[in-house]
Amino acid sequence: MTDRFEQIPSTSEPPTKRKPSRSRKMLGAAVLGISSILAPLESYAAKPKVSTHHESPKRPDDAESKRNYLISEGKKQLEKYKTDPTPIHLGYLVSFLDSVKNTAGPIKLGDLGVTEEQYKAFGRTYGQVLVKKLNELAASDSNSIDMSMIMTRLKDRLENGFTLEELGITAGEYQKFEGIAELKEKQFFIKSISDDVIRYKLGRAGRDSEDSIIEVMEREHLSPDSVGFTAQEYQVFRDKYYGRKIENELEYIRESDFGMSSPVILRHLLDKAGWTLAKVGYTKAEFKKVETAFDKYMKLTSKQRDEYGLKIRKAREVRNDKPK
């Protein structure tokens, strides 16, 4: 069993074990609209291709096998692009070559028969394809995150040592594209969240929609009126949202079920909501005891944590089974 506190990030991002929110899914869906030009954002070379058939995918189990596998995959990407030189095949190839060049992995460009000059040529060509697409999107009336996704890939080219001049774009054009991409992305989110707000007001919004409203509004710094809330309506919605989240955590905290919650998670939510410990029924001294108990829990072994969690769950079941 993986405890939630083990997933608490060190940044200001909210600690959570929940599935990706709708706003993340919207990002993924929007990428499908430009899949003909963008390769996956993660390194293609970093993982084996998963078989679509019923047999188990081949997974390299030693250094030499992994090296041979990567060489084979790299050559496949080269052959695909030579046979069918489309932007998507070029994107996959460049992503693979970037990974080979920039990581201390088991293979080098030379193992694929690729020279430094050829690598630069592939990278320049792909960058120029991206710039062409940016020009098309900048001139369109659509509001989406497509430009932001392509700008991310263009920045990858720059981080991999290419110059704006090599990619066929001036500094002024690059800044202009950044501004347009940011505006289109914001308008995309405003439209998406506005639809969620309408569903919420009609009583048809699920928890995913409510999560998206809060997540996107806070991350993108959207004003309530931009998505169809009055300031008062948004405050009421926000109070109810964080109140529900906090109460869920408090149920576990009161039982010292630290496999499901922790004082760190609760404090994070209180800070987000602007609530005090007193508002949820704790004095500082009482909460200090909770933190001390959590510190002791953290020092337990994995087996001891499992035994502790089982004891908590059994006690909960006994309480729930008692007649009210």
pTM of the model: 0.63
d(CA 126, CA 157): 9
* C-alpha 255: how far from chain center: 32
Q: What is the largest CA-CA distance in the chain?
A: 77
Predicted confidence (pLDDT) per residue in 210-227, tens digit: 999 999 999 999 999 999
The answer to whether the CB of 74 falls within 8 A of the CB of 100 is yes
Which amino acid makes up residue 199? R
Predicted confidence (pLDDT) per residue in 147-196, tens digit: 999 999 999 999 999 999 999 999 999 999 999 999 999 999 999 999 99
Mean pLDDT score across all residues of the chain:
83
d(CA 205, CA 227): 15
Name the residue ranges covered by the structural domains of the chain: 22-49+62-205, 230-324
Q: Residue 53: what pLDDT?
A: 44
The answer to whether the CB of 109 falls within 8 A of the CB of 119 is yes
d(CA 104, CA 101): 8
d(CA 93, CA 95): 5
Which amino acid makes up residue 192? S
Of 67, 64, 69, 93, nearest in space to 79 by CA? 93
Q: Residue 294: what pLDDT?
A: 94
Q: By three-state DSSP, how is residue 60 classified?
A: coil
Q: Residue 323: what pLDDT?
A: 67
* C-alpha 72: how far from chain center: 30
pLDDT at 3 over 90: no
Predicted confidence (pLDDT) per residue in 282-307, tens digit: 999 999 999 999 999 999 999 999 99
Q: Residue 42: what pLDDT?
A: 39
d(CA 304, CA 297): 9
Q: Please give the torsion angle defined by the CA atoms of residues 145, 147, 148 and 150, in that order, rounded to the nearest 10 degrees.
A: 120
Confidence of residue 267 (pLDDT cuts 50, 70, 90): very high
Count of other CB atoms within 10 angstroms of residue 167: 20
d(CA 286, CA 190): 42
Q: Is 281 left (phi over 0), alpha (psi -120 to 50) or beta?
A: left
The answer to whether the CB of 38 falls within 8 A of the CB of 156 is no
Confidence of residue 114 (pLDDT cuts 50, 70, 90): very high
Confidence of residue 324 (pLDDT cuts 50, 70, 90): low
Token representation of residue 26: 């919207």
Token representation of residue 210: 């409510």
Q: Does 23 or 13 have the greater pLDDT score?
A: 23
Predicted confidence (pLDDT) per residue in 24-41, tens digit: 445 444 444 455 555 543
